[in-house]
Structure 1
């Protein structure tokens, strides 16, 4: 059966921003709170400032590239069209580390936390239920994803507001507001810049939402204007929120060595701040955040696979198929759901290492794409254009490489292994590099149609 189908442009700025924030998960600050607080010796807010700075430069480069190529595929598309088909393939390959493994983190956290609360139900049952629910939502369409995200984000925001209010109330309990202001969370003689960067490298996981919004470009109204604005807003809102929560958390619970279990530091802080009731609210909000992030990340990776399938880098009949009924890449969505079941065998440390390596590698390639597309090929070399298209992305690239080299050795072992597998697959695809990987020809004035 063959038919022509296409994505529907239904998303505006507000739902796209929600999509990105849901991907980032406002409560993700608590996922690595205890771990990074100990790595940086109490300078978690400072680490977030460093990460936000690097991500703002990266978001700027993404914004420039999405104006040039407002299509699904994210860093894969930008690198392919700017640096060539081989570089594009590897950009897509490392980006798969982000998108395939981020849902797994959410499913793992859902299983771990719910099993801790309801020990009679095994972890694998919660993971299976979560994967099934999220896959169903994504098959039904991006509009449903956006509507679900709105409700999930609302609950998380309400909890964060409660956390901020209770924290401020606790800090000013003596009637003085001076306790609200301190440089201790940003500077300490016990810590160092290298430790802050090591923590910041881990925190890059928290900012993947701005990258994810580029994958719904073909379903966004006036994507050339909407997506860059959404990228900036998602990065600023998410980063500002992370810094504020980390700052208040550090003030009310300054002894980072006192955590019973750094992996679940969020629960300890919530109990310290508001007792068992607030701890229960935190658990509910956290699980909801994981579902929201899994929903968005599942949608993003299915569209990345669709983009790679559309130009036959992956089997086109499978990955390039769009449902006539739901206007979604159904087969890619199902495959992502099946792949997500690997959460049953992987642990959080392994998954986190994969994501960190893939994210920073893809971000670096996007910075290089800006330089190649605008400064070198486009010859945009006036003083202002040199600042925008050469100096700015070079600063972003430097920050990403610095964070990249701050990752653990296990991250490099896993990441390089993934690249070796990708190289072998590319050799097969191109008949030992005799042929070029196929490229997709875009027409900016027409909707992209796919034979299914």
Structure 2
């Protein structure tokens, strides 16, 4: 039996459920306002679509087509299959453990605290860096729109990062990207319902415009643009798939809203499946139309690519102006939802004591984590203002793929450890589905640039240092387990419900260091544990 001092103690599944969406999703001491359950199934699915569609489609062709040529379509299929397998794994875990922590909490419950903490840091790459990357893309579309409509655009020192293009320039900042993040910050602070509804409107607009693009682009379809189909061979398709996978991140953001929907056991899987079908369908339609409408040599370094494709096809700027205007409005939704996902993961980590408690503070008026949101937006704004897009996209991909692989592994572990627990959804073809998902994620990681791997290694080292310096010493679970051991209660740290709910909050803070001296020589089993019959015997207190 592991000691409570181990960095691999596991968060009990039942405790997570009691604390989160179906129970006390409150501040660290169990008091205060809760997150408001105000998101419908449709709005939740639109959050997944909104966070995903546009992230890659609006500008990733300029990166992926030079790598794979017309075979970028196959790269989209590989990325879609990987995302689909992972989405099924997310659906099972989200229906079993409905919590704002998403991958972080799933890993905490299956692989232990340290691994969960590292996955949480991978999610920082996925959400915060993704939000910044999309804000940079939004800035490019804004400049394109201004040029087409008004004949002028923002100067470089107000619209590009200091070292954009591979060399350092005189002082500059991507001001439109910073402004976009600031707007998202205020909207998210206003309330979850308001943010979800605004996102749904923008997503419907975005889907309509992409359908318009496909129809117009097909009028200029040239089969010759598909030859040669794969000039870089299989290696090119693999490299492009790694880059294109950036365009599929966002589906998992649905699971971060688990504590803000009713009946998450059913709502989360449904929303994930709906979003996956919509995203894959629209991506394939746009990819086939785009590659067929323009020679592959024109994609390289092509900013605001879809608008330029329509201008090339029609010989007129009318449709491209419409597309640019819609992109300026709709890409907003991606930054909005990715920042939302980041704040909810940080909320869960703070509630567990992994990061400072201020990140779990919920405003009594808006029922949102306002301090958390402000800090997150500050970081995202700095990234968007000073880092170029190509660097950001690869960092997002490797962080996301790492988290996805661990989640798929978590499905296997939870099936073996808790085979009888309630699951609103089960992945089909188990265990093949999670195993293939893991292999696909690792393959895509292998196709990324070695510099990206090195950067992730440095990022993980920093994460380990912060865990040792703060997370380990402030872990709420560890404090409760140590208090129970000091009281003479034998606990299983491998995923048991070790402390009764009524005493957990009292023992999760500094008071956990002191335990009443007068204890019965044979302490009785806490009442909260006697009813815990949903877990197998080896997952309960001995």
* TM bucket normalised to smaller: 0.7 to 0.9
Higher relative contact order (Cα pairs below 8 Å, separated by 6+ residues): 1
Whether the aligned pair in 1 keeps the contact of 2:182 and 2:381 (CA below 8 Å) is no
Question: Shift of the alpha carbon at 1:346?
Answer: 1.1
- The match for 2:281 among 223, 240, 245 is 240
Q: Deviations over 1:259-286 (max 9, x none)?
A: 4633443232121133211111121122
C-alpha separation between the residues in 2 aligned to 1:223 and 1:99?
A: 22
Question: Are 1:11 and 2:36 counterparts?
Answer: no
Match of 1:119 in 2: 153
Whether the aligned pair in 2 keeps the contact of 1:430 and 1:436 (CA below 8 Å) is no
Question: Shift of the alpha carbon at 1:405?
Answer: 0.6
- The match for 1:281 among 306, 310, 322 is 322
Whether the aligned pair in 1 keeps the contact of 2:217 and 2:310 (CA below 8 Å) is no
Change (3 A) 1:185 1:326: farther
C-alpha separation between the residues in 2 aligned to 1:270 and 1:93?
A: 40
- The match for 1:426 among 467, 487, 507 is 467
Whether the aligned pair in 1 keeps the contact of 2:359 and 2:371 (CA below 8 Å) is yes
- The match for 1:155 among 205, 220, 236 is 205
Question: Shift of the alpha carbon at 1:258?
Answer: 2.8
SS, match of residue 73 in structure 1: coil
C-alpha separation between the residues in 2 aligned to 1:194 and 1:28?
A: 20
**Mind listing any 5+ residue stretches in structure 2 that lack a counterpart?**
1-26, 147-151, 160-173, 481-494, 509-542
Q: TM-score, normalised by structure 1?
A: 0.88
Question: Are 1:83 and 2:111 counterparts?
Answer: yes
Match of 2:352 in 1: 311
C-alpha separation between the residues in 1 aligned to 2:475 and 2:80?
A: 42
Question: Are 1:261 and 2:301 counterparts?
Answer: yes
SS, match of residue 105 in structure 2: helix
C-alpha separation between the residues in 2 aligned to 1:24 and 1:344?
A: 22
Whether the aligned pair in 1 keeps the contact of 2:225 and 2:296 (CA below 8 Å) is no
Q: Deviations over 1:320-349 (max 9, x none)?
A: 111110011111100111111222111112
- The within-5 A match list for 1:364-375 is 364-375=405-416
C-alpha separation between the residues in 2 aligned to 1:183 and 1:438?
A: 66
Whether the aligned pair in 2 keeps the contact of 1:34 and 1:265 (CA below 8 Å) is yes
Q: Deviations over 1:38-65 (max 9, x none)?
A: 1012212111111111111101110110
Change (3 A) 1:192 1:146: same
C-alpha separation between the residues in 2 aligned to 1:101 and 1:437?
A: 30
Q: Deviations over 1:230-285 (max 9, x none)?
A: 111211210111111101111122x2113463344323212113321111112112
Match of 2:370 in 1: 330
SS, match of residue 4 in structure 1: coil
**Mind listing any 5+ residue stretches in structure 1 that lack a counterpart?**
172-178
Question: Are 1:358 and 2:399 counterparts?
Answer: yes
C-alpha separation between the residues in 2 aligned to 1:29 and 1:442?
A: 47
SS, match of residue 274 in structure 2: helix
Question: Shift of the alpha carbon at 1:379?
Answer: 8.0
Question: Are 1:141 and 2:191 counterparts?
Answer: yes
Whether the aligned pair in 1 keeps the contact of 2:213 and 2:323 (CA below 8 Å) is no
Question: Shift of the alpha carbon at 1:429?
Answer: 2.5
C-alpha separation between the residues in 2 aligned to 1:366 and 1:358?
A: 13
Question: Shift of the alpha carbon at 1:409?
Answer: 1.5
C-alpha separation between the residues in 2 aligned to 1:5 and 1:324?
A: 6
C-alpha separation between the residues in 2 aligned to 1:33 and 1:338?
A: 29
Question: Shift of the alpha carbon at 1:387?
Answer: 7.0
Change (3 A) 1:61 1:386: closer
Match of 2:390 in 1: 349
Whether the aligned pair in 2 keeps the contact of 1:141 and 1:326 (CA below 8 Å) is yes
Match of 1:167 in 2: 217
Q: Deviations over 1:372-427 (max 9, x none)?
A: 111355389xxxx9974422200110011001111111211211111010011112
Match of 1:47 in 2: 75
Q: Deviations over 1:349-388 (max 9, x none)?
A: 22112211100000000011001111355389xxxx9974
C-alpha separation between the residues in 2 aligned to 1:152 and 1:387?
A: 33
C-alpha separation between the residues in 1 aligned to 2:279 and 2:154?
A: 36
Change (3 A) 1:64 1:81: same
Change (3 A) 1:376 1:197: farther
Question: How many corresponding residue pairs?
Answer: 435
Change (3 A) 1:431 1:223: closer
Whether the aligned pair in 1 keeps the contact of 2:258 and 2:268 (CA below 8 Å) is yes
SS, match of residue 392 in structure 1: helix
The structure with the larger Rg is: 2
Question: Shift of the alpha carbon at 1:189?
Answer: 5.5
- The within-5 A match list for 1:393-432 is 393-429=434-470
Question: Are 1:218 and 2:259 counterparts?
Answer: yes
Whether the aligned pair in 2 keeps the contact of 1:45 and 1:243 (CA below 8 Å) is yes
C-alpha separation between the residues in 2 aligned to 1:95 and 1:203?
A: 18
C-alpha separation between the residues in 2 aligned to 1:158 and 1:63?
A: 27
Whether the aligned pair in 1 keeps the contact of 2:355 and 2:471 (CA below 8 Å) is no
SS, match of residue 350 in structure 1: helix
Change (3 A) 1:187 1:237: farther
C-alpha separation between the residues in 1 aligned to 2:326 and 2:476?
A: 50
Match of 1:56 in 2: 84
C-alpha separation between the residues in 2 aligned to 1:386 and 1:105?
A: 32
Whether the aligned pair in 1 keeps the contact of 2:299 and 2:305 (CA below 8 Å) is yes
C-alpha separation between the residues in 2 aligned to 1:428 and 1:372?
A: 29
C-alpha separation between the residues in 2 aligned to 1:109 and 1:390?
A: 38
C-alpha separation between the residues in 1 aligned to 2:180 and 2:305?
A: 23
